A and B are shown apart, each in its own frame.
Chain A
């Protein structure tokens, strides 16, 4: 009898140990603490801001000026780091807003998920005064922050267009005119020349997808064709002809030995940049600032242009991502937080200063009137880098629907890409499987 009891206890203990250690600590909750966005005073309060590396530093630099206008608002800028910030915001929203900062810097990839899964988690900026800036930002961005046309979930900050940063000296050495490349197919041919004459790869991809942004290049090829993982109705378009075309281009490059492996993410990318492993960095606007900072001695060797089109005559402009400032629904100083958001994002001089500091491209169109966007850049061989991207922002471009299921889609895409790059899988097949899997996981329809 005694033995029986002890055994039962043991078994119970084993299960409890398992459950206790794995048990997800009650972290659901609806996060529905939205107050309608009128809490606190506009001129007074103590607010905290969560952002990451560069943007955090630039916001910090703006605080003294902000305090001249609002001496009674005390601002603390915290550099949470990217991607750590996403987990931290998620946890805070899931805990009903507990412990969140007042102002949150949020990427377009996360914004719809937060809004949909945690209604009220972010304050409605409309009543605070956001609607006055409806037409101030690059096209498509207002729709991104107010998908239903009523609530304003955030205010746009960065608008990043697809760019094509390249080592002009390597292109020259290989005898290829980079400016004349019209399609990615031509670029692949150029890549072969470069590889043969200089030994450099055409570009690099995080082949095993060690980081979530391993699919950035694939995504850019999709967006250049005006498509995305979902269409505007929210149906899955992961195996559309455009997507298969994009993945096939990547496979062709890889099979020709033109793709270096950037597994390890950011650090590997920086090492590769310093070593000159790749001739092209197909990166968005903000990356120009990184290049200047990392390899200052290569001034004059670099140039930038918009990427070649996927199909001849196709678009070379695409807004590949954007970031936004939101105010937490749980914030007790929403009005003061809004004052800060308004100061940073809607004043051209704030945005110009941030651009000068880190090359972060504003979404605020009025900022581009400043001369800094029209000056020749010594680093980029005297090119007017700002104008290159301004052209892209002004070009007609499609709106992209990230949906609340973007993270799932991205995971399936990076897996599919790894299958292609590491195992030589067939693009159409792996994308088809990914689309079906995504449909099973999310209940969305596949549009075929």
Chain B
């Protein structure tokens, strides 16, 4: 994914004649060093990926696995709940991700500004939600969002507003999910963008200032182009993350009410660990992986470097 960060100046491969003849032992050593990592990768990534595909072609009947070919995949196409999950996930993706990335960009620029005092504290503050545990997260938001006993409704009440059914109304539940996701990931994205921002040469800003560019013009013509690789990275990561989103709906709404916040991740979980339908759950996982692949490709095309 960081491939785009390497510029066009990749060193040319040394010509064959000039390469020193290395003894075999020296050629083996590097592989030995990466072997543990490769083995772990094979055991915990490659094997599950492959096994999960095999499972997706099976169905458990009376405790024994029976090969059913693509049955699980065709079942997916006719399953209204899968489409509901896909629709919900797409809505979150289309609404929440752009908003969050815009917010993260604004934050990154603010945190990069020399005008701000105590920047380290703010950076830490915005990054902290990223490492908050699932349980703490759930408790925090249920305290905030509970209809009758929540902090947000208490605040609304101070201003004379009616309580909002944050988690119990289908539409508000989606909004609450967006809110929780934004809280969770904005800081993380801001930190990535911030890192890139600091690599934008200061001379470019000086040159823009000399040419008479104002704050907005230099943001548009210097900052944004400079941020492009990092924006691509955060967009792709957020897309993958959002398509797989599980924690938030799991702890806040359980996918409800009436499947309004059912995401593909939650549906996968339900099929595997509530209904013991591992074959079908694996098929969902593969459908999701293909979706992520396609969306990732499109984003690289649209945002990536033009050849």
Contact = CB atoms under 8 A, between A and B. Distances in A.
A146 to B, nearest CB: 17
Interface size bracket, A side: 35 or more
B48 A414 contact: no
A117 B256 contact: no
A261 B169 CA distance: 12
Most chain B CB neighbours (cut-off 10 Å) among A16, A23, A212: A23
Given A24-B48, A90-B273, A208-B168, A3 B256 contact: no
B3 A211 contact: no
Nearest to B259: A415
A425 B266 CA distance: 25
Contacts of A437: 80-81
Contacts of A264: 142, 146, 167
B293 A10 contact: no
A11 B285 contact: no
A423 B47 CA distance: 46
B17 interface: no
B268 interface: yes
What does DSSP make chain B's interface, helix, strand, loop or mixed?
A: helix
Interface string B285-307: 11011111100110010000001
A305 to B, nearest CB: 29
A117 B45 CA distance: 26
B60 interface: yes
Contact of A21 (B1, B55, B62, B244): B244
B288 A210 contact: no
A87 B254 CA distance: 14
Interface string A297-322: 00000000000000000000000000
A28 B256 contact: no
Interface in B44-79: 44-45, 47-49, 51-52, 55, 58, 60, 62-65, 78-79
A27 B272 contact: yes
Contacts of A11: 293, 296-297, 300
Nearest to A21: B244
A22 B265 contact: yes
Interface residues of B, number: 65
B258 A28 contact: no
B167 A210 contact: yes
Interface stretch (B97-105, B198-206, B275-283): B275-283
Contacts of A267: 142
12 contacts: A7-B300, A17-B292, A19-B289, A20-B49, A23-B49, A26-B47, A30-B64, A116-B62, A119-B63, A207-B257, A208-B167, A208-B257
A405 to B, nearest CB: 7
B168 A22 contact: no
Contact of A28 (B3, B10, B65, B292): B65
A119 B273 CA distance: 16
Closest 7 CB pairs of A and B: A208-B257, A18-B292, A14-B296, A119-B63, A26-B51, A15-B293, A18-B289
A118 interface: yes
Given A15-B293, A24-B48, A90-B273, A263 B55 contact: no
B240 interface: yes
A113 B276 contact: yes
Given A17-B240, A28-B58, A23 B63 contact: no
Query: Which of B265, B288, B293 has the most A CB atoms < 10 Å from its CB?
Result: B293
Interface string A207-229: 11111100000000000000000
Contacts of B300: 7, 10-11, 14
A258 B47 CA distance: 55
B3 A24 contact: no
Contacts of A117: 60, 63, 276
Contacts of B272: 24, 27
A28 B55 contact: yes
A209 B256 CA distance: 7
B64 A91 contact: no
Contacts of A210: 167-168, 253-254, 256-257
Contacts of B21: none
B93 interface: no
Given A26-B52, A210-B254, A422-B169, A21 B47 contact: no
A32 interface: yes
A24 B55 contact: yes
Contacts of B78: 440
B83 interface: no
Contacts of B63: 30-32, 116-120
Contacts of B274: 407-408, 411
A440 B63 CA distance: 21
Contacts of B278: 24, 27-28, 94
Contacts of A411: 270, 274
A441 B76 CA distance: 10
B87 interface: no
A13 interface: yes
Contact of A15 (B51, B170, B282, B289): B289
A441 B274 CA distance: 14
Contacts of A415: 256, 258-259
A418 interface: yes
> Which residue, of A419, A422, A437, has the highest number of chain B Cβ atoms within 10 A?
A422
B257 A24 contact: no
A25 to B, nearest CB: 4
B48 A22 contact: no
A422 B292 contact: no
Contacts of B297: 11, 14
B232 to A, nearest CB: 11
B168 A207 contact: yes
A9 interface: yes
B92 interface: no
